[in-house]
Chain A
């Protein structure tokens, strides 16, 4: 009888244990799943915050680039006013001042020369007027903006510039990407003017399978990309790479001392 009671008590304990264990396991599974949902949701929050942060950085970079493009335009205008239009107008003034009315034949010659100088000044002013539109160049599209930038550079007569543009370029561009790419072109051209000592510049704008490729090369002095001293590294190259990364692209810089430089930027477009 006692044995039977002990046996029954053991059975009951086993059932208790089984029921409690099963309930605890089921509850843990349920709580675990809820915990997973909460963890995933928190990660989602972090991801959204990072996305917002990246967007803010992107917008700040776009604003900065816009300012830089404007600044570059102002510099070009300043230089042109000083070097070109200023000289033309000074010359016009000198020519007009030197007119002697007694010698009509010579005076006529000088007046004609002054008219010619004035017309050239007007032509220069018109070109400057176009340049003053600055950002609006981008509205015309990246290809047109680059073409305009090149035409300005060609006028210096120091460079032979070739510009190849792919016919396949999408009609509807991406204004933000266009602006950043245009600024990169300006920055590269500035570097060539200041440091490369080049005589030939080649620019190619290609497009294939949703990838836009902008390639700029020169026949200048070049440099050793891997062993460029920190003080010579400058902000130019770093900026180019940073900006290309901001629009989801990458910049490949190939250069060797004495063998010129080739910079290629590839991005998904538009």
Chain B
């Protein structure tokens, strides 16, 4: 039961929800289904490699975090309207890519998971989430947050990255802490976090759908 890939199921459900609910959007948010398509393909391959073929899949995760970071940055760039946002984004990009290149060089390839780059990515996304909340505090007009798709995307990501950062920091130690021979404690927690993340995203897609219906002319 514990070995069941709940995270993968959550990702597939979220992807299907995105295809069904976000398909007719005409703004930048519709790109989320392409991103989720990429996520489910990569995660499915990773699962196949790890559990069926029993081979190293960390090289694929190293490619994945590159796309995850780039898309995340682009998405938040659209979410947040902040005066000094461009220099902040540039700084974050330099920080992440230099860490990524550093790990690429120091490991001599991509077969070992780039844990530091992953941690930096989490820190950056947390920072961007907090910046989004700050802009919410700053703006004068009221937004119904329970029906705001961006709020749900950001909040899901915020809970996910804030909790997983502790796990990423002690990644090497935690993967060794196994509940039984095949499954680590980190795997279980990440499963739970993925379920929370994608549940929030599905809620966001529902909000997008409702908004889209409400602005459609009769």
Check B109 for interface membership: any CB of A closer than 8 A: no
* B155 neighbours in A (Cβ, 8 Å): 34
What are 6 sample pairs from A and B whose C-beta atoms fall under 8 A apart? A19-B167, A22-B166, A23-B166, A27-B159, A30-B158, A33-B158
Check A158 for interface membership: any CB of B closer than 8 A: no
- Give the segment of A36-44, A89-97, A206-214, A237-245 that binds chain B: A36-44
Classify the secondary structure of A's interface with B.
helix
* B174 neighbours in A (Cβ, 8 Å): 19
Check B189 for interface membership: any CB of A closer than 8 A: yes
Check A7 for interface membership: any CB of B closer than 8 A: no
In the complex, are the beta carbons of A45 and B159 less than 8 A apart?
Answer: no
Q: Evaluate whether A26 and B136 lie within 8 angstroms (CB atoms) in the complex, with A44-B142, A45-B142, A48-B142 already known.
A: no
In the complex, are the beta carbons of A19 and B136 less than 8 A apart?
Answer: no
* A45 neighbours in B (Cβ, 8 Å): 142
In the complex, are the beta carbons of A23 and B137 less than 8 A apart?
Answer: no
* A16 neighbours in B (Cβ, 8 Å): 177, 185
Check B162 for interface membership: any CB of A closer than 8 A: yes
Check B55 for interface membership: any CB of A closer than 8 A: no
Check B110 for interface membership: any CB of A closer than 8 A: no
5 additional A-B pairs beyond A33-B133, A44-B142, beta carbons within 8 Å, are A27-B162, A30-B159, A30-B162, A33-B130, A37-B133
B126, closest chain A residue (CB): A30
In the complex, are the beta carbons of B162 and A26 less than 8 A apart?
Answer: yes
In the complex, are the beta carbons of B163 and A30 less than 8 A apart?
Answer: yes
Check A133 for interface membership: any CB of B closer than 8 A: no
Question: How many residues of B are counted as interface, with CB atoms below 8 angstroms from the partner's CB atoms?
Answer: 22
Within the complex, what minimum Cβ distance (angstroms) separates B149 from chain A?
Answer: 15
Residues of B within 8 A of A (CB): 130, 133, 136-137, 141-143, 145, 155, 158-159, 162-163, 165-167, 170, 174, 177, 185-186, 189
In the complex, are the beta carbons of B177 and A41 less than 8 A apart?
Answer: no
In the complex, are the beta carbons of B143 and A41 less than 8 A apart?
Answer: yes
Check A15 for interface membership: any CB of B closer than 8 A: yes
Residues of A within 8 A of B (CB): 12, 15-16, 19-20, 22-23, 26-27, 29-31, 33-34, 37-38, 40-41, 44-45, 48
* B185 neighbours in A (Cβ, 8 Å): 15-16, 19-20
In the complex, are the beta carbons of B189 and A38 less than 8 A apart?
Answer: no
Contact of A37 among B137, B142, B165, B167 (CB under 8 A): B137
In the complex, are the beta carbons of B159 and A34 less than 8 A apart?
Answer: yes
In the complex, are the beta carbons of A26 and B133 less than 8 A apart?
Answer: no
* A37 neighbours in B (Cβ, 8 Å): 133, 136-137, 145
A44, closest chain B residue (CB): B142
Within the complex, what minimum Cβ distance (angstroms) separates B186 from chain A?
Answer: 8
Within the complex, what minimum Cβ distance (angstroms) separates B184 from chain A?
Answer: 10
In the complex, are the beta carbons of B159 and A31 less than 8 A apart?
Answer: yes
CA–CA, A23 and B190, complex, Å = 10
A43, closest chain B residue (CB): B142
In the complex, are the beta carbons of A26 and B145 less than 8 A apart?
Answer: no
A29, closest chain B residue (CB): B162
> Among the interface residues A29, A30, A33, A40, which one has the most CB atoms of the partner chain B within 10 A?
A30
* B167 neighbours in A (Cβ, 8 Å): 19, 23
